Homo-oligomer: A and B are copies of this chain.
């Protein structure tokens, strides 16, 4: 590959304080990297935008190491192989990798997973058939004890906190739209199989949620926190199970909210209702469940039992604005950057 070809990329210019601002992102160019022994060079087709990346911009240990200032912003990617050290990846292959916010990346040949464009749109490897879909699958089945394909132990009560692409037979899905203009969005959510869409910014979310789930809630998939959790917790039934995979409402917080301190009251709810709160990262379950997930989820998507939506922004340069818009609710469905 010609090394005078330029690699456009977006790097972390400074650690954001609260919501990231444009100056936290540095757009620049570098020579396209050449693969070394055992490596392949990849041209990025699609980039996944995920809320967890906000946490990695902080200089604080969480479940993943922080990025350093100057690093290319991290993220899963679907890419085309340009050049490869060995036959396991051939030029033209489309792969799932972790190239981040740039036009070209170099990864070890053993790293990326080859995708079959005939089997499913390749972008699904970043969404419903990839990490986000697996997160939903693992949390709902291993922790929530919901068994898709069988009657749920608690039908019509499962509440995902961010509109995603998970629906399984015998489980109704009340959900909520993150958009202030909820009315304009309830139609797409319903087309995805959502039974009830609630605007979390409108008044009396607890009351509307209780009305939408009159028998209470047995499983709540927590990936937002904040006011949604406050409302849901009031409707949780005895023995309810709460897989906790994200708290997007907190990610831009710069300090603890004002009091009173409700942490003891939260423990009191756990006790009084025999709740299970279980934090998890999908990688915990990948070794034992990912193969089942791929087989089952592919079948559900094919059968139309699971429907998904992608929110595609075209152009690398627009990645920061699309990323910042996620916690505001600007996207509906899986947020992707497609490189033009």
Contact = CB atoms under 8 A, between A and B. Distances in A.
Interface of A: 62-63, 222, 225-226, 229, 239, 244-247, 249-250, 253, 255-281, 284
A139 to B, nearest CB: 11
Contacts of A270: 244, 277-279
A63 B281 contact: no
Contact of A271 (B244, B259, B266, B275): B244
Nearest to A264: B250
8 contacts: A63-B271, A229-B267, A244-B267, A246-B271, A256-B261, A256-B262, A257-B264, A261-B262
A252 to B, nearest CB: 12
B225 A272 contact: no
Number of copies of this kind of chain in the complex: 2
Q: Which 4 A-B pairs have the closest CB atoms?
A: A259-B259, A256-B260, A262-B263, A270-B279
B279 A272 contact: yes
A258 B284 CA distance: 37
A56 B274 CA distance: 17
A18 to B, nearest CB: 15
B225 A264 contact: yes
Given A260-B259, A263-B265, A268-B250, A277 B280 contact: no
A261 B258 contact: yes
